[in-house]
Homo-oligomer: A and B are copies of this chain.
Amino acid sequence: MIPFNKPFIIGKELTYIEEAVKSGKISGDGMFTKKCQQFFEQKYHFPKVLMTTSCTDALEMAAILCNVEPGDEVIVPSYTFVSSANAFALRGAKIVFVDSCHDNPNIDPVEIEKHITEKTKVIVPVHYAGVACDMEKIMELAHKHNLFVVEDAAQAIDSYYTFSDGTRKALGSIGHFAAFSFHETKNIIAGEGGMLAINDPQYFDRAEVIREKGTNRSAFFRGEVNKYGWVDLGSSFLPSEIISAFLYAQLENLEIIQKKRLEIWNNYQNGLSALQEKGFITLPDMPSYATNNAHMYYIVCRSYEERTNLIQYLKAQDIHPVFHYLSLNKSDFFLANNPEIDIPNSDHFTDCLLRLPFYYELSETEQHKIIELINSFFT
């Protein structure tokens, strides 16, 4: 059986968990949480990072930091995971869904501009498959209209964007805030886990408070105040040290993981390119400003029916590819409060995009088996 995803232990995950327990602290914000935060801050130049229990929770922190409230509008791609929208809906915002680009699932800046109104407060670009959205255009729109940008970088660890002047920045370091995921389907995993990057120093203190149940507990534990209390809204966004210890062991092996994933990605791309040339499927498109973090390998079929048949064909051989998001403008929750709208590119990816098995331990033999079967399905 070749599953879509498979979690893995790569280094000292269990040793570090044991160490955390022995150190006398496994609640949030212990030694391993700090090590993870430092790792990310140093490697990707995020001004500040706070580990969270999930990317969803990091998005919720961002929504509170942006002071999103009823009456505000938040622009989100329709082709994304529910959390990109839900985190803002929880604060009472009106979600304004816009379309993907024609040739890739990322949000279309032209469509964003069309949907900006006086009530717009936030734009949420989602870097699908770890491939950068057109951040230069998006940041220009944000500056022009005085909007927050919250990058949904759930899939975008270790990926970059190059501006037209040649400057290259890590995804997640460009908007005001960025949310990452360490869900088991991501490059670096902790089962469930996430982090928030805070790129504007004026939000450092409040972010810390919101993450600690609305208290100044972090300042207390640094010895800055002699008791801590309730000072703001907040939640318990901080992960157990058990999670951070596991994650840190993965981070120590980031380069090994990324090298392996890139090999898998390239094998897929090479092995399936003939099918693209023959017009059977479309392969991922890498814009010149983006890098490839090998988060995901997807193909786009010509129709929903063909994709369904391909899934069945591969499942019969015990290979488990999976479709992905469902246009959120067609969800029950959205339609309960909003009229129907037409978002065609998002619908196309909803119907035709297929993710192939992709995980650290996927062997070359397995990769070749998958590639061969897909080729034989079409030809």
Residue ID in chain B nearest A229 by CB atoms: B331
How far is the CB of A72 from the nearest CB of chain B, in Å?
A: 14
Is A56 an interface residue when CB atoms closer than 8 A count as contact?
yes
Listed residue (A213, A236, A241) with the most chain B CB atoms within 10 angstroms of its CB: A236
If the complex has contacts A191-B240, A235-B90, are A215 and B18 also in contact, measured as CB distance less than 8 A?
no
CB pair B24 A82 closer than 8 Å: no
How far is the CB of A281 from the nearest CB of chain B, in Å?
A: 21
CB pair A213 B83 closer than 8 Å: yes
A331 to B13, CA, bound (A): 40
Residues from chain B with a CB closer than 8 A to the CB of A6 are: 24
Q: How many residues of A contact B (CB 8 A)?
A: 65
Residue ID in chain B nearest A331 by CB atoms: B230
B-facing mask of A33-71, CB < 8 A → 1, else 0? Answer: 000000000000000000001111100100000000000
Residues from chain B with a CB closer than 8 A to the CB of A110 are: none
How far is the CB of A146 from the nearest CB of chain B, in Å?
A: 26
How far is the CB of A134 from the nearest CB of chain B, in Å?
A: 26
Listed residue (A13, A14, A89, A333) with the most chain B CB atoms within 10 angstroms of its CB: A333
Is A184 an interface residue when CB atoms closer than 8 A count as contact?
yes
Residues from chain B with a CB closer than 8 A to the CB of A27 are: 7, 183-185, 191-192
Is A107 an interface residue when CB atoms closer than 8 A count as contact?
no
CB pair A214 B333 closer than 8 Å: yes
If the complex has contacts A7-B21, A7-B26, A236-B57, are A230 and B332 also in contact, measured as CB distance less than 8 A?
yes
CB pair A56 B213 closer than 8 Å: yes
CB pair A56 B236 closer than 8 Å: yes
Copies in the assembly, this chain: 2
Interchain CB contact (< 8 A) of A191 among B54, B230, B241: B241
Is A246 an interface residue when CB atoms closer than 8 A count as contact?
yes
Is A85 an interface residue when CB atoms closer than 8 A count as contact?
yes
Is A326 an interface residue when CB atoms closer than 8 A count as contact?
yes
CB pair A26 B189 closer than 8 Å: yes
How far is the CB of A165 from the nearest CB of chain B, in Å?
A: 38
Interchain CB contact (< 8 A) of A184 among B25, B92, B184: B25
If the complex has contacts A190-B240, A191-B241, are A230 and B85 also in contact, measured as CB distance less than 8 A?
yes
A344 to B85, CA, bound (A): 44
Is A243 an interface residue when CB atoms closer than 8 A count as contact?
yes
- Can you list 27 A-B pairs, Cβ within 8 angstroms, ordered by A? A3-B24, A7-B25, A7-B26, A8-B21, A9-B18, A13-B17, A14-B14, A14-B17, A17-B17, A17-B246, A27-B184, A28-B192, A53-B53, A53-B192, A53-B236, A55-B236, A56-B236, A57-B236, A85-B230, A86-B230, A190-B242, A192-B236, A192-B239, A229-B326, A229-B332, A230-B332, A231-B332
Other 9 A-B pairs with CB < 8 A, given A86-B235, A242-B243:
A7-B26, A14-B18, A27-B191, A57-B235, A86-B230, A90-B233, A190-B242, A214-B333, A229-B331
Chain A residues within 8 Å of B, Cβ to Cβ = 3, 6-9, 13-14, 17-18, 20-21, 24-28, 53-57, 60, 81-83, 85-87, 89-90, 92, 183-185, 189-193, 213-215, 227, 229-236, 238-243, 246, 323, 326, 328, 331-334
